Amino acid sequence: MPNLKDALALAASIAQGETTAVAAVEAALTRIEARDGDVRAWKTIQPEKALAEAAKRDAEAPRSPLHGVPVGVKDVIDTGDLPTGYGSPIHEGKQPAADAACVALLREAGMVVLGKTVSTEFAMRHPGATRNPHNLAHTPGGSSSGSAAVVSDGHVPLAIGTQTSGSIIRPASFCGVIGYKPSWGAVPRGGLKMLAESLDVIGAMANTAADADAFVQAMAGRPIAATMPAASPPRFGIARTKAWASVEHASAAALESAAAACTAAGATVTDVELPPPFAEALDAHDVVMTYEAWRMLAHERTAWWDQLSPALQAVLERGADCSPESYAKALKIRSSCRHGLKTAFADVDVLLTPSATGEAPEGLDFTGAPEFNRIWTFTGTPCVTVPGLTGPLGLPVGIQIIGPLGGDASAIAAADWLRPLLTQ
Site for a copy of itself contains 190 (CB under 8 A): yes
The verdict on whether 181 is a catalytic residue reads no
What CA–CA distance (Å, rounded) separates 269 from 351? 9
Report, in Å, the least distance between residue 201 CB and a copy of itself. Answer: 12
Site for a copy of itself contains 185 (CB under 8 A): yes
Select from 23, 160, 220, 414 the one that contacts a copy of itself (CB under 8 A): 220
- CB-wise, 96 or 166, nearer to a copy of itself? 96
Select from 57, 67, 107, 240 the one that contacts a copy of itself (CB under 8 A): 107
Give the range of 46-54, 134-142, 193-201, 374-382 binding a copy of itself by CB under 8 A: 193-201
Q: What is the pattern of x (binds a copy of itself, CB under 8 A) and - over residues 316-345?
A: --------x--x------------------
The verdict on whether 165 is a catalytic residue reads no
Task: For the segment 358-417, give every residue that binds a copy of itself (CB under 8 A).
Answer: none
Select from 222, 249, 339, 342 the one that contacts a copy of itself (CB under 8 A): 222
Site for a copy of itself contains 189 (CB under 8 A): yes
Tally of CA atoms within 13 A in the half-sphere of 10 that contains its CB: 33
* DSSP assignment string, 4-60: TT-HHHHHHHHHTTSS-HHHHHHHHHHHHHHHHHHH--EEEE-HHHHHHHHHHHHTS
Question: Quick one: CA dihedral 108, 114, 116, 119, positive or negative?
Answer: negative
Task: For the segment 275-294, give every residue that binds a copy of itself (CB under 8 A).
Answer: 291-292, 294
- 167: cis peptide before it, omega within 30°? no
Give the range of 29-37, 98-106, 130-138, 309-317 binding a copy of itself by CB under 8 A: 98-106
- CB-wise, 124 or 360, nearer to a copy of itself? 124
The verdict on whether 143 is a catalytic residue reads yes
Beta strands across the sheet bearing 350-354: 42-45, 112-117, 70-74, 158-163, 201-206, 178-181, 383-390, 396-402, 350-354, 235-238, 268-271
Give how far Cα 310 sits from Cα of 16, 39, 180, 323, Å.
52, 25, 30, 22
Select from 188, 229, 275, 277 the one that contacts a copy of itself (CB under 8 A): 188
What CA–CA distance (Å, rounded) separates 104 from 297? 25
> Which residues belong to the active site?
74, 143, 167
